[in-house]
Amino acid sequence: MTDVQDFTFEANADAERLRRAFEAQGVVVIKNLVTKERLGEQRAAVNRLLAIKLQRLGHSPISDDIDENLNALVTLDQGHAMDIIRAVKDSPFFYGILADAKLHEICRACLNCETLLSIHDIAQFRIDPPNHDERNFEWHQDFQYNVMSMNSATVWYPLKRVAEEMGPLAVVPGSHRTIVPVEMNFQGHKPGSGLMHAVLRFEVDEREAERKAVVLCPIEEGDVVVFHSLMLHRSGANRSNRSRWTVNPRFGDAADPAFADRGWLAVRDRTQTAFAQYYPEYVKVSGS
């Protein structure tokens, strides 16, 4: 049985060791990769957005703690968490994460490649409030959602420690060698709603996946998980009293022949009806 220690490394680990572990297991955990200072800056940037949103709703921000401000916000309406997710993704600090040299170095080592691509649309920031399971993922692979290079890396790290009752991520080490078929249903799907996970149903033997699963727990502040786009993984349910905050960009190999040959086409999420929705007085719909 694989143990999380089999694929856990320190931040200064040799690239060759990382590559071999990633190739064998499809996942590595890097301890202390993000500095406490940088995590603090990232939480402060999130908190500024929480404060703006609370003020717009006529409330004063109550704390310098992201969980306390978020709790105040979602007490008003759970939907506000999705607004914060959207704004975080468009914040300069989030672009900084996509451009982070340390993450690039680890991903290049894992993917054994030189030239990375990262698509902003499919980079995720997650807020998983307690007992709010709507956005939880069942067993799945990321490739079918992202369609970058087949050997892309998903990076997953929390802004605050993830303990067992907070719904840690579960992975199936070694599951990254086959593409799992999916059933696709876009009926009723709204781009940008945060519910893209519901569009695909993966044909997974769930009992087998649970039997082989390794739960990545605890993940301390500064630790970073990197897993293969074909790695089977799922969310855990958050049964604590605070949210799970996770940064979740993806990096692909630009030299993947199929990816390069299709002109690096991947999945993107556009909300093209926004102008008509918010400024209908300027829109005349024709051709219907």
Tokens 């949210």 belong to residue? 243
Q: Given the complex with ligand AKG, which of 13 and 138 has the nearer CB atom?
A: 138
Least distance (Å) between residue 265 CB and ligand AKG: 20
Closest CA to 81 of 35, 131, 38: 131
- Residue 251, SS3? strand
Q: Given the complex with ligand AKG, which of 69 and 144 has the nearer CB atom?
A: 144
Least distance (Å) between residue 70 CB and ligand AKG: 16
Q: Given the complex with ligand AKG, which of 69 and 141 has the nearer CB atom?
A: 141
Q: Given the complex with ligand AKG, which of 80 and 250 has the nearer CB atom?
A: 250
Least distance (Å) between residue 177 CB and ligand AKG: 18
**To the nearest 5 percent, what fractions of the chain are helix, strand and coil?**
40, 15, 45
Least distance (Å) between residue 205 CB and ligand AKG: 18
- Residue 195, SS3? coil
Residue nearest to ligand AKG (CB): 235
Instruction: Tell me, rounded to whole angstroms, the distance of Cα 145 from its chain centroid.
Output: 12
CB atoms within 10 A of CB 181: 10
Q: Given the complex with ligand AKG, which of 47 and 246 has the nearer CB atom?
A: 246
Tokens 């040299």 belong to residue? 101
Q: ∠163-233-93 over CA atoms, to 5°?
A: 65
Closest CA to 244 of 156, 174, 119, 148: 156
Least distance (Å) between residue 124 CB and ligand AKG: 5
Least distance (Å) between residue 158 CB and ligand AKG: 9
Q: Is the bond into 191 cis (omega within 30 degrees of 0)?
A: no
Which residues of the shown chain bind ligand AKG in the complex (CB under 6 A)? 124, 126, 137, 142, 169, 233, 235, 246, 248
Q: Given the complex with ligand AKG, which of 54 and 171 has the nearer CB atom?
A: 171
